[in-house]
Amino acid sequence: MQEFGVPEKEIILRLTKLLKDDKKYDSGRILGSMCTKPLTIAIKIYQDFFDKNLGDPGLFPATWAIERDVIRMMSTLLNNPNGVGYCCSGGTEANLIAMRMARNSHDIKHPEIIVPLSAHASFDKAADLMNLDIIKVPLNENYQVDVEGVRAAISKNTVAIVGIAGTTSLGVIDPIKELNEIAIENDIYFHVDAAFGGLVLPFLKRLGYNIPKFDFTLDGVKSITADPHKMGMSPIGTGGIIFRDASIVRSNAFEIPYLAGGNFKQATIIGTRSGASVIATWAIFKYLGIDGYSKIVKKCMNLTHILSKGIKQIDGVSPVIDPIINIVGFESDRYNIHTIDRELRKRGWALGAFPNFLRIVVMPHIRKCHIDEFLSDLEDIVHHLKEKSSYVQKTPVKAF
């Protein structure tokens, strides 16, 4: 840090220069992100309440009440009006909290968790941090976790089964109903990671899409991750963890007796946490309602279908699956997919690159003109590769 302060004007100028290389959602070039530009109302409200700290709820009881309301709204959307939980920093923290609850709800010395091979890295982090053995069960031909594989992986040490409703890579929904039955039969904590799907699937269902049960309607589901900062369009730093009932959390919270607002129990991993993001989320929920979200999700899905169809029409690349939610993965049986990724990046596109395919998440910041431009660039790139008869490599998609 330099010795003396710099005037505000100068700082803003410098920052404008320093940040000019950051990509912008509005450009439509960010195709591989699960985040998006927060709704305008959320940005304004966030600024107004940026000093609220939910790490000390006694000081901010009204913000705490708003958080309860946000959780109640999300929980109701997930078919459990009695759910309890927290807004947290994101899906990673939500999954960490869930795995901690699972571990603590069983008295087992060498706890193991069973997750699909497609599970998000947050479960590896949970395993590492909490000394859990993580068992990754392979996927079936639809990229869902293999149910019999999960059954076979259960041991006397299993403390959690995880199912995913909207996988990070392809947006697939695991056979949650079947996993639910296995969890009940074996009396094991069942967590559903709907970090992305949690604020997409309920709206798709309302739009008439055939969405299997994935939420609290299934009796064994103990907790669900659902992140407002993904399809909820909240400011970054707003995740969500919802439990079936308070009993799961009550015995697993830490007492913090010295807080300025008075004794309060915390079950989140972090202490000081943003109240502004929670208030902004509340405002978005009220502003959009189910109808508003459904319209946004409908728009994203329409573009998803246009994108998937467009990819099918380009010789040499094809979608990995027909999209289930607003995520499209595509592969190539002729060209090296990472060469395609490099060429797309040269033209400013930012996709998610998985071992054998590229992923696009059709977020609300993406418009039809961006999809058209992208398809045209992709076609052009593939055409050039064909001309150069570039290195051809068929790699079967298996990992995700």
3-state helix/strand/coil string of the chain: CCCCCCCHHHHHHHHHHHCCCCCCHHHCCECCCCCCCCCHHHHHHHHHCCCCECCCCCCCHHHHHHHHHHHHHHHHHCCCCCCEEEEECCHHHHHHHHHHHHHHCCCCCCCEEEEECCCCCHHHHHHHHHCCEEEEECECCCCCECHHHHHHHCCCCEEEEEEEECCCCCCCECCHHHHHHHHHHHCCEEEEECCCHHHCHHHHHHCCCCCCCCCCCCCCEEEEECCCCCCCCCCCCCEEEEECCHHHHHCCCEEECCCCCCCEEECCCCCCCECHHHHHHHHHHHHHHHHHHHHHHHHHHHHHHHHHHHHHCCCCCEECCCCCCCEEEEECCCCCHHHHHHHHHHCCCECEECCCCEEEECCCCCCHHHHHHHHHHHHHHHHHHHHCCCCCCCCCCCCC
Considering beta carbons, is residue 168 or 308 the nearer one to ligand 0PR? 168
User: What is the smallest separation between the CB atom of 327 and ligand 0PR, expressed in angstroms?
Assistant: 9
Q: How far is the CB of 46 from ligand 0PR (least distance, A)?
A: 17
Binding region for ligand 0PR (CB under 6 A) out of 15-23, 85-93, 175-183, 333-341: 85-93
| Dist. CA 116–CA 112, nearest whole Å | 13
Helix 61-77 to helix 276-312 angle (10° resolution) is 30
Kindly indicate which of the ranges 65-73, 193-201, 305-313, 338-346 contains the residues binding ligand 0PR, using the contact rule CB under 6 A.
193-201
Looking at 54, 195, 218, 279, which residue binds ligand 0PR (CB under 6 A)? 195
**Closer of 173 and 267 to ligand 0PR (Cβ):** 173
Residue number with the smallest Cβ distance to ligand 0PR: 91
Q: Which one among 168, 304, 326, 356 touches ligand 0PR, defined by CB under 6 A?
A: 168
Of 244 and 359, CB closest to ligand 0PR:
359
87: contact with ligand 0PR by CB under 6 A: no
In the complex with ligand 0PR, the residue whose CB is nearer, 229 or 244, is 229
Query: What is the Cα gyration radius of the chain?
Result: 22
| Range 35-64, binding ligand 0PR (CB under 6 A) | 35
- Per CB under 6 A, the list member of 53, 63, 80, 92 interacting with ligand 0PR is 92
| Among the residue ranges 2-10, 74-82, 84-92, 331-339, the one whose residues contact ligand 0PR (CB under 6 A) | 84-92
Work out whether 90 is an interface residue with ligand 0PR (CB under 6 A): yes
Residue 171 in the binding site for ligand 0PR (CB under 6 A): no
- Greatest C-alpha distance within the chain: 70
The minimum distance between CB 262 and ligand 0PR, in angstroms, equals 30
Q: At its nearest, how many Å lie between ligand 0PR and the CB of residue 137?
A: 16
- Contact between 265 and 256 under an 8 Å Cβ cutoff? The reply is yes
Task: Using CA atoms of 341, 344, 350, 356 in order, give the dihedral in degrees to the nearest 10.
Answer: -20
Indicate the residue among 34 and 297 with the shorter CB distance to ligand 0PR: 34
Map the footprint of ligand 0PR across residues 14-33, applying CB under 6 A. 33
Among 56, 146, 193, 341, binds ligand 0PR (CB under 6 A): 193
User: From the list 71, 74, 113, 164, which residue makes contact with ligand 0PR (rule: CB under 6 A)?
Assistant: 164
Residue type at 155 in one-letter notation: S
Say what angle helices 122-130 and 91-104 make with each other, to 10 degrees: 40
Q: How far is the CB of 391 from ligand 0PR (least distance, A)?
A: 27
Name the segment binding ligand 0PR (CB under 6 A); options: 39-47, 88-96, 282-290, 321-329. 88-96
Shortest Å, Cβ 156 to ligand 0PR: 28
| Site for ligand 0PR, residues 310 to 349, rule: CB under 6 A | none
**Closest CB 350 distance from ligand 0PR, rounded Å:** 8
Q: Is 239 in the site for ligand 0PR (CB under 6 A)?
A: yes
| Residue (95 or 281) nearer to ligand 0PR, CB | 95
Q: What's the rounded Cα separation, in Å, for the pair 145 and 370?
A: 33
The residues of the shown chain that bind ligand 0PR, judged by CB under 6 A, are 33-35, 90-92, 95, 120, 122, 164, 168, 193, 195-196, 227, 239, 352
